């Protein structure tokens, strides 16, 4: 089998595994808030706490996990181990729900675990991706992967309510566990070497290694902007997500069997946005694509809040679904653009730290937004809190757009780098083509 055929096979296996876990994670993402609200009678404050429990470990451990991931040479083996532990955690929760012994506070440690797990997976993911993309560019590989993941997510969200209706809350949790097993098997059958070729670390000093990741954020304009103004977008998004379960299920009176259906359009639109990124970037350039994503995020948030204001289970839910679709579409455009900038400009030896430094700052903003969303919902009502979130997000998107320019020192070269996937300063590293 030729090396190109092997690379294509490996990338297909990697994509299948990612789509499978996206499908399963979407099931759990839909079922957990329904279980919390309808099954355990959670309050607005508890829903905000539930959202924050996923972000808390990222804030506490993000910098350290970034260093840990960069020290790992066999990334795939670590990813498989995380899949196996995830299977055990989900199975335990599903059994607790099935035998009616679980309560709301069972959900918190599970969400904390998946916060830590997703943190480690994200740090390992980008470095490991370089070993399975073959001759593809980072932009095209990310576009295809995110497109497939969003389609898997759309399917999972669409059938989650039906699965709850058919087999109770435990059924989708068991299914998610099975899909983690699918991903582990796919990773195990990849033939490319399970070793990321990077320059040897210059220091094993923890403080210096963490600092090296932050130095990259300070040097690259778009990442410097995201680390400041762009975090307001994450605050606004977290506020809206914290409000959505109560908005849809209580305020608008949407039947729980239809809860997941509201998110289908968002996932499909997100897939379309991801797949459109590569051709858009080739035609318009990376900065223009990022600005389009930012403008669309602001528009989608406004539409979502309008749906909360309209009221009524049909009209309100439809408008909320349209707002979510816009957020999915333009959020994917922004996500691919930003992550491509990160992977293109950072050496593989610091990529885990750079990725998780961004993720940690985002999680801190998300945790704050979740708590603010719950508090605002209690103080001014769900509809008023939704409009507060819109205002915060619009300010963040407007300020962030100012930072979406070429670096003064890199100019056109950096734009070409972001689109081609060739790392800047990647000494001793294979080009991410």
pLDDT of residue 341: 66
Question: Residue 14 is encoded by which pair of tokens?
Answer: 């990697």
DSSP sequence for 336-364:
HHHHHHHHHHS-TTTHHHHHHHHHHHHHH
Task: Give the largest Cα separation in the chain, rounded.
Answer: 64
What's the rounded Cα separation, in Å, for the pair 46 and 37?
Answer: 9
- Where is pLDDT greater, at 181 or 340? 181
- Where is pLDDT greater, at 360 or 203? 360
Contact 307, 316 (CB under 8 A): yes
Angle 317-345/104-129 helices, nearest 10 degrees? 40
pLDDT of residue 282: 72
What's the rounded Cα separation, in Å, for the pair 57 and 54?
Answer: 7
- Tell me, letter by letter, the H, E, C secondary structure of 160-229: HHHHHHHHCCHHHHHHHHHHHHHHHHHHHCCCCCCCCCCCCCCCCCHHHHHHHHHHHHHHCHHHHHHCCC
pLDDT of residue 182: 95
**Of the candidates 167, 193, 213, which has an alpha carbon nearest to the alpha carbon of residue 70?**
213
Contact 79, 162 (CB under 8 A): no
**Is 125 in a helix, a strand, or coil?**
helix
Contact 342, 355 (CB under 8 A): yes
pLDDT of residue 129: 75
Q: Is the pTM of this model over 0.75?
A: no
Least confident segment among 25-29, 278-282, 322-326? 278-282
- Where is pLDDT greater, at 126 or 3? 126
Which whole number is the average pLDDT over 52-56?
Answer: 74
Residue 260's Cβ-count burial label (10 Å; 0-12, 13-18, 19+) is: buried
Q: How do residues 380-432 score in pLDDT, each as one tens digit?
A: 887 888 888 888 888 888 888 888 765 443 433 343 333 333 233 333 333 33
pLDDT at 46 over 80: yes
pLDDT of residue 423: 32
- Where is pLDDT greater, at 216 or 92? 92
Q: How do residues 295-336 score in pLDDT, each as one tens digit?
A: 888 888 888 888 777 766 677 778 888 888 888 888 888 877
Mean pLDDT of the chain: 77
Which whole number is the average pLDDT over 280-289?
Answer: 75
CA distances in angstroms from 233 to 278, 347, 398, listed in the order given: 23, 27, 10
User: What residues contact residue 217 under an 8 Å CB cut-off, 6+ apart?
Assistant: 223, 224, 227, 354, 357, 358
């Amino acid at each position: 089998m030729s090396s190109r055929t092997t690379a294509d096979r490996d990338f297909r296996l990697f994509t299948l595994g990612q789509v499978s876990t996206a499908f399963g994670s979407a099931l759990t993402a839909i079922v957990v808030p329904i279980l919390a609200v309808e099954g355990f009678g959670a309050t607005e404050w508890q829903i905000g706490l539930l959202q924050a429990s996923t972000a808390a470990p990222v804030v506490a451990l993000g910098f350290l996990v970034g260093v840990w991931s960069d020290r790992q040479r066999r990334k795939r083996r670590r990813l498989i181990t995380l899949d196996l532990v995830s299977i055990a955690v989900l199975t335990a929760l599903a059994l607790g729900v099935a035998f009616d012994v679980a309560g709301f506070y069972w959900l918190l440690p599970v969400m904390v675990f998946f916060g830590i797990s997703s943190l480690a997976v994200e740090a390992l993911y980008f470095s490991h991706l370089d070993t399975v993309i073959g001759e593809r560019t980072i932009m095209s590989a990310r576009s295809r992967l995110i497109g497939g993941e969003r389609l898997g997510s759309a399917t999972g969200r669409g059938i989650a309510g039906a699965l709850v209706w058919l087999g109770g809350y435990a059924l989708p949790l068991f299914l998610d566990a099975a899909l983690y097993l699918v991903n582990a098997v796919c990773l195990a059958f990849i033939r490319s070497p399970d070793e990321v070729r990077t320059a040897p670390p210059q220091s094993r000093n923890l403080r210096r290694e963490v600092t090296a990741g932050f130095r990259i954020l300070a040097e690259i304009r778009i990442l410097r902007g995201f680390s400041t103004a762009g975090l307001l977008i994450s605050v606004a998004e977290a506020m809206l997500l914290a409000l959505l379960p109560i908005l849809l299920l209580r305020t608008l009176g949407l039947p729980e069997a239809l809860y997941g259906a509201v998110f289908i359009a968002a996932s499909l639109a997100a897939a379309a946005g991801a797949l459109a990124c590569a051709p858009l970037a080739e035609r318009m350039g990376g900065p223009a694509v990022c600005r389009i994503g930012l403008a669309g995020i602001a528009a989608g948030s406004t539409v979502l809040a309008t749906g909360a204001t309209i009221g009524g289970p049909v009209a309100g839910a439809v408008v909320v679904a349209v707002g979510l679709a816009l957020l999915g579409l333009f959020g994917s455009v922004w996500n691919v653009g930003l992550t491509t900038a990160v992977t293109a400009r950072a050496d593989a030896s610091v990529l885990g730290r750079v990725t998780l430094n961004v993720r940690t700052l985002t999680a801190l903003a998300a945790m704050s937004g979740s708590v603010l969303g719950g508090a605002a919902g209690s103080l001014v009502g769900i509809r008023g809190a939704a409009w507060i979130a819109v205002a915060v997000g619009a300010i963040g998107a407007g300020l962030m757009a100012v930072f979406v320019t070429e670096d003064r020192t890199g100019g056109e070269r950096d734009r070409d780098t972001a689109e081609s996937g060739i790392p800047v300063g990647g000494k001793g590293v294979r080009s991410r083509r």
